[in-house]
Structure 1
Amino acid sequence: MPTIKTLIDLLEIQSVSSDESNIMEFLLNTINKRKHSWKVSPEIHHGPELHDCLLLKFGNPRTAVFAHIDTIGFMARYENQLVPVGSPELVEGTVLVGNDKYGPIRCKLMIRDDQPFHDFGRGIERGTLLSYEQHVQIDEKFIHAAYLDNRLGIFNALKLCEFLEDGWVVFSTYEEHGGGSMPYLLRYIQEKHPVSQALISDITWVTDGILHEEGVAISIRDKFIPRKKYLDKIIGLAERSGVPFQLEVEGHGASDGREVQFSPYAIDWCFIGAPEDNVHTPHEKVALSDLEAMTEMYKYLMAHL
């Protein structure tokens, strides 16, 4: 079963949007090692036609779970300039790491006229991707690290695989920078074994109404609004599950659920994830009890949807 060591290994892998191949290979190797101990050994779908995405088909799916495997970061431009990938917080002094053809890179983020730069001692090869330097801290109540969004969503999906009898588990790319993989993933699923329901395994925000240690967040809406009939079904099952949860209502933000809603397929969707503080910084923070509630909720919902 996935352990805290698995999670820490996930957190250490660089996977800025457009460069997801390393984490895809890690997931593929992990799945191949463990699939024979799962309740159902899945069909594994990957290859050039799916780029760096990975799909697992268990039994006769009714529902698909989507977890994105990319992260925010930065790309080197000219004259020490950086261009954000996705929407990282621009915090002066943040340590960034990466590699180009000249070797490893460790530098600090500098802000000039509201624009990001780096302070590395030499020029960085154009197009080099940089990510936050990782420092994982786990205490009795919380995990603190960069990229809990969406390494915890991936961890949740891997935990689900242990018990899942029927369903798709899908690891998508590019979510943090405009999406793009979901249309061909949805088409692939609907051609192989269609479903009419989806869950988005991702991490949401701590806000004035969503708090640490109050359970997993079931999102009634972000910028986009799932179909109420499906939400009512999800919430009804959540109430019967006995798993702690809280209901989220926001007016902005989006996820892979957006692309499900915009697709040509009649697939209901709902975002369900643990809330985090310090979003899109190197210091994201999630309560371990909320992560546990997330994994238990997915296990229950996928057995009853």
Structure 2
Amino acid sequence: MELLKQLCQIHAPSGNEVQLTQFLLNYIEQNKANWRVTPQVLAGEDFQDCIILVFGQPRTAIFAHIDSIGFTVRYGRQLVRIGGPDTETGYQLVGQDSQGPIACTLQVSEEDGSLQYEFEREIDRGTELVFACNFRETQDTVQSCYLDNRLGVYNALRVAETLENGAIVFSCWEEHKGGSVAYLARYLYDNYRVKQALISDITWVTDGVHPGQGVVISMRDSLIPRRSFVNKIISLAQQSHVSFQLEVEGAGGSDGKDLQQSDIPWDWCFVGAPEDNVHSPDEIVHKDDIDSMVALYQVLMREL
């Protein structure tokens, strides 16, 4: 879990993912020679802070967003949400501005729910603050802020080790309305004719989805993927004997939204481990679900 711990500690709220982008580029450069196939690495200004890895002759792409939720400092001591973070007075927030490192406390107004920070000085406006990372591991679970979606990134890196044909996309802005997947998807379609995708992201523990019972295949959330593609994934999962669960929800979204709403005939399906304490500093995931997520992705990327 050391790699996952490192990922969770990196400052990368939506719109300022550059530190995680650089970490990933360094990690890929140091490890790609040991992978079964050495990928082509696509990054730079044409991709903003996103990365595409192309292995062999790709048929399917994994999309894993690298950004997190957080807060932006407004005026005075006001905070504005980045995405949909859980908010509770006393949460520890960290960041850095022109005056140095920041470790402050979130304050939620009992009157109107407005957000402020408590700190010894005023923080530069526009500074992003994120949850302080307290990574905890037991025999059965890992717990930390930003398992959504550093665990999806971790899964993609693990799958990269044995991937022969496929693409891995590290996208930005997903937590705050998206925006990068459209041009990344267009690039993959125009250059490689790839038009099917797995969304490597983290879903919720609910009354129908339970920790420790396997990776989740989402049949729908606020969007509805094409049923024939989802059925193919379910069939492959059944044949693989990897533990999995089926999810049916009416809310939530992912990078799949931009794929479905594009002018390219993308098929997509959300496949990810379930977590509890969503969007809080205490997100928790069962290790068995992490293992089944990696195992099922290895099967799907080989067979799709």
Partner of 1:132: 131
Which deviations, in whole Å up to 9, do the C-alpha atoms of 1:96-139 show, x marking residues without a partner? 00000001111110011201100111111000000000000000
For 2:72 and 2:207, the matched residues in 1 are separated by 33
Q: Tell me how far 1:191 sits from its aligned partner.
A: 1.9
1:76 aligns to 2:73 (yes or no)? yes
Instruction: Report the alpha carbon displacement of residue 192 of structure 1 after superposing the two structures with TM.
Output: 1.6
1:142 corresponds to: 141
Work out whether 1:65 is the aligned partner of 2:62. yes
Partner of 1:106: 103
1:79 counterpart SS class: coil
Distance across 1 between alignment mates of 2:195 and 2:229: 10
Q: How far 1:220 moved relative to its partner?
A: 0.1
Instruction: For residue 106 of structure 2, give the secondary structure of its aligned residue in structure 1.
Output: strand
Listed as ranges, the gaps of 5+ residues in structure 2 are none
Provide the rounded CA distance (Å) in 1 between the counterparts of 2:35 and 2:154. Answer: 15
> Helix, strand or coil: the match of 2:223?
coil
Q: Is the 8 A contact 2:217 2:247 kept in 1?
A: yes
Provide the identity percentage.
49
- How far residue 243 of structure 1 moved from its aligned partner, in angstroms, is 0.3
Is 1:186–2:168 an aligned residue pair? no
TM-score normalised per structure 1: 0.98
Does residue 51 of structure 2 align to residue 54 of structure 1?
Answer: yes
Q: Is the 8 A contact 2:17 2:66 kept in 1?
A: yes
Paired residue for 1:43? 40
Structure 2 partner of 1:26 = 23
- What TM-score, normalized by structure 2, do the two folds share? 0.99
Q: Which residue of 1 aligns with 2:91?
A: 94
| Structure 1 residue matching 2:197: 3-state secondary structure | strand
What SS does structure 1 have at the residue aligned with 2:61? strand
Q: How much has 1:196 moved relative to structure 2?
A: 2.2
Question: 1:211 aligns to what?
Answer: 210
Which stretches in structure 1 are left out of the alignment for 5+ residues? none
Matched residue type, 1:19:
N
User: Which position in structure 1 is the counterpart of 2:227?
Assistant: 228
1:153 & 1:224 partners in 2: Cα distance? 20
Question: Given residue 82 of structure 2, which amino acid in structure 1 is its aligned partner?
Answer: V
Q: Classify the secondary structure of the residue corresponding to 1:293.
A: helix
Residue 155, structure 1, aligned to residue 158, structure 2:
no
Query: Aligned to 2:213, what secondary structure does the other structure show?
Result: coil
**Partner letter of residue 292 of structure 1?**
D
Cα distance in 2 for residues equivalent to 1:196 and 1:127: 37
SS across alignment from 1:264: coil
| Structure 1 residue ranges, 4+ long, deviating more than 2 angstroms after superposition | none
User: Conserved in 1, the CA contact under 8 Å of 2:189 and 2:195?
Assistant: no
Deviations 1:25-69 (A, max 9, x none): 100110011111111000000010100000000000110000000
